[in-house]
Chains A and B, each alone.
Chain A
Amino acid sequence: MDGNAPDFAAASRAALADPQLRGNFRRAMDGLMTKRAAQFPDAGEWHGVRALAAAVRLRALSKLPELLETLEENCTRNGITVHWAATTEEANAIALDILHKANAKLVVKGKSMVTEEMHLNAVLEKDGIEVLESDLGEYIVQLDGTMPAHIIMPAIHLNTKQIAHLFKRKIKDAESREDAAYLTDLARRVLRAKFQAADVGMSGVNAAVAETGTLCLIENEGNGRMCTTVPPVHIAFMGLEKVVEKLEDVPPVISLLPRSATGQPITTYVNMISGPRKDGEKDGPREVHLVILDNGRSSIYADPELRDTLRCIRCGACMNHCPVYTKVGGHAYEAPYPGPIGKILVPQIEGLEKRGAMPHACTMCNACVEICPVKIPIVEIMGRLRVEAVKPGGAVKDGGAKASRKESMVWSGWAAMNASPTAYRLATMAMSRLGNAAPSSLPMLKEWTNVRTKPRFAGRTLHDLARAKGIPDV
């Protein structure tokens, strides 16, 4: 992933040419959109709770430094060890240090997007530590040696047949059965043995409550509970924006997250952890660590407009509703976060040099903005990033990396033409006379006409037609 900049255009062309992949995504996204819509039958309720969830997130961001301090204080009081990491390298070093002290050989992990950002698994494996993803989708993706294609449903790009083949290849004694119930049970058997034996469990955090020092995790499978309850050490990873002020701020977030994500009223488990095993308690980890990661988030926070990116509660609904994501799938983005949230978050974290193409993978249809449970102005931020990509010295890492003289000259010309009535009239007249004669293979035109028919210019301009109707020029 590091090194050469990912080529989104090439990757999406490849994805578009794969009918199996497109079918898998189309089916899945249609199902998710229908199920989500069924969870919000009452528009008033949706607007009310959504406004509240957005307010909760905005309030948290408005007090972010203070809340992080309070969180640290209360977690520490509860017996949780808090670590801070400016970069993913630091976060990986913290994790390794804890693992070495615990003499850990086997790690089980619950779903955590932050550890995807860190490429933690690769780091642990290099260190000789066995690390096992335990969310079924993540487990499938790990067996397959790929990366999650969706932040909520990592293996959504594969169908049952493909997964059955994978299990047959990778799991000892697996039968070749294309049956979700059988495959699920098989994974249960493999992973239960690992939960029992693991030295350390890892997880993400959906919301961290400053007021009480509580880590909230939601999930359906119980693997999150296994990872945070059974091994003697638990390490939780969170992006620094994940904090909320009060325990009461959790219900609005929990109310919208599962409904938006998968169309269920609530996840099977809402797991609230406020410390390691206390004296006299019979289970739970003896150590709980919380790693708070920045990785570019404080830069995002610095800009009042881009700051809204940090409201995200990672429901994935924007992906499910994105016409681009649905067609190219999650892997084309080659990023830990695909889809609309990825298109605004990843370029800000990794820089516009490497990720300048991402904000362009958007039709600006606004579907994501309409369903985002915390009302992030995703499309506005997308527009802003397009500007930042050609404007050196701006607010975003590697701003101006995509600046091109040719493009900026074209736009200056465009602006000049539109600012002068005479120039405008001359230009439109020229287009109406000569536009159709221009071959679609002209250098700049080609990029458009490659995949589209060249539009036909009308023989007369709008001004002409208006004048003919007796509408005077102003």
Chain B
Amino acid sequence: MSDARNSILTRLRATRDAHPPTPPASDFAPIEAKQWAAEERLPRIRRLMEAVHTEFLDATKADWPQVLREFLAREGVGSLLYAPGTEAGKQLVEGGERGPIPTLIPYDRPLEDLKPQLFETIEAGLTTTRGAIAETGSLILWPTAEEPRTLSLIPHIHIALLRTDALYDTFLQAMREQGWAQAMPTNALLVSGPSKTADIEQTLAYGVHGPKRLVVLVIHQ
């Protein structure tokens, strides 16, 4: 179909040059102006995300695996899929002796070999985040080879670790400061709540295709 390509591009170029538009300057100031004091960001993120049914747990760097295990026990969640290659994954396994032990399932093989389990039995998935955004109450997810995309998508409960030293004002600020444009991963995501829909007569319902519950485990620094 390269014929189509060339004829489309030639046409666009010729007609554009016949009437060259002069776009106004792109002034990003209205977005840059959106700022919150450091201590306001987390409460704001929490408020916005709770408004769409996100749950929050508080923990420290040392005790989060414990807090997580207690949560899973309390909620009767029997299986947790995690990324064994990440720091967090290692810490999760090591923090094992002190709490009730759910079945920990390492995401250590390709999706194809895990699909039936992922869709049918695994209840929860644990991921890290690259921070969160105060303006909209959004987590930044950055799946990698160690921490696959479906970890935060298929299990009914998605648990996300959020460090309080990576809170940004806006999406724009986050992508600038983390230098996204230089190195986009296969998939990057903003996640602002559990899966939801209002397609049936504007009635909000949670858990339509993605996770039914989103739990943010805040690791206070």
Chain A residues within 8 Å of B, Cβ to Cβ = 24, 27-28, 31, 44-45, 48-49, 51-52, 54-56, 58-59, 61-62, 64-65, 68-69, 83-86, 90, 94, 134-137, 140, 153-156, 158-160, 163, 180-181, 183-185, 187-188, 191-193, 195-196, 211-214, 220-223, 225-226, 229-230, 240, 246-252, 254-255, 262, 265-278, 280-284, 292, 294, 298, 301-304, 307
B20 touches A283 (CB 8 A): no
Smallest CB separation, B23 vs chain A (Å)? 4
Give the chain B neighbours of A28 by CB distance below 8 A. Answer: 201-202
- Asked whether any CB of chain A lies closer than 8 Å to the CB of B130, the reply is no
How does the 8 Å CB contact mask read for B182-198 relative to A, with 1 for contact and 0 for none? 00111111111111111
B30 contact from A49, A181, A212, A277, Cβ within 8 A: A49
- Of B5-13, B55-63, B70-78, B92-100, the one contacting chain A is B5-13
Of chain A, the residue at the smallest CB distance from B158 is A222
A220 contact from B115, B154, B197, Cβ within 8 A: B197
Complex-state Cα separation, A27 to B203, whole angstroms: 12
A51 touches B24 (CB 8 A): yes
Complex-state Cα separation, A220 to B191, whole angstroms: 9
Give the chain A neighbours of B52 by CB distance below 8 A. Answer: 268
Give the chain B neighbours of A249 by CB distance below 8 A. Answer: 26
How does the 8 Å CB contact mask read for B205-220 relative to A, with 1 for contact and 0 for none? 1011111000000000
B19 contact from A226, A273, A304, Cβ within 8 A: A304
B11 touches A31 (CB 8 A): no
Smallest CB separation, A105 vs chain B (Å)? 17
B197 touches A221 (CB 8 A): yes
A270 touches B190 (CB 8 A): yes
- In chain B between 149 and 191, which residues have their CB closer than 8 angstroms to a CB of chain A? 149-150, 153-154, 170-172, 175-176, 180-181, 184-191
B197 contact from A156, A184, A307, Cβ within 8 A: A184
A86 touches B191 (CB 8 A): no
- In chain B between 122 and 169, which residues have their CB closer than 8 angstroms to a CB of chain A? 135-138, 144-145, 148-150, 153-154
- Asked whether any CB of chain A lies closer than 8 Å to the CB of B39, the reply is no
Contacts beyond the supplied A64-B16, A184-B208, A251-B170: 10 A-B pairs with Cβ under 8 Å? A59-B23, A134-B209, A180-B203, A185-B205, A195-B119, A268-B196, A269-B191, A271-B187, A272-B184, A302-B15
Of chain A, the residue at the smallest CB distance from B146 is A282
Known contacts A55-B23, A255-B31, A270-B138; is A69 also within 8 Å of B9 by CB? yes
Known contacts A137-B199, A268-B192; is A282 also within 8 Å of B208 by CB? no
B30 touches A283 (CB 8 A): no
Complex-state Cα separation, A59 to B20, whole angstroms: 11
A247 touches B209 (CB 8 A): no
A65 touches B9 (CB 8 A): yes
Known contacts A221-B197, A265-B136; is A248 also within 8 Å of B210 by CB? no
Of chain A, the residue at the smallest CB distance from B188 is A272
A196 touches B199 (CB 8 A): no
Give the chain B neighbours of A301 by CB distance below 8 A. Answer: 11-12, 15-16
Complex-state Cα separation, A308 to B66, whole angstroms: 56
Closest 7 CB pairs of A and B: A222-B210, A48-B30, A58-B23, A137-B199, A302-B15, A283-B111, A180-B203
A272 touches B189 (CB 8 A): yes
- Asked whether any CB of chain A lies closer than 8 Å to the CB of B221, the reply is no
B209 touches A226 (CB 8 A): yes
Give the chain A neighbours of B37 by CB distance below 8 A. Answer: none
Q: Could you list 9 examples of A-B contacts with CB < 8 Å? A: A62-B16, A153-B198, A155-B199, A211-B181, A214-B184, A220-B198, A265-B136, A265-B192, A266-B136
How does the 8 Å CB contact mask read for B19-40 relative to A, with 1 for contact and 0 for none? 1111111111111011000000
B186 touches A274 (CB 8 A): yes
- Asked whether any CB of chain A lies closer than 8 Å to the CB of B82, the reply is no
Give the chain A neighbours of B64 by CB distance below 8 A. Answer: none
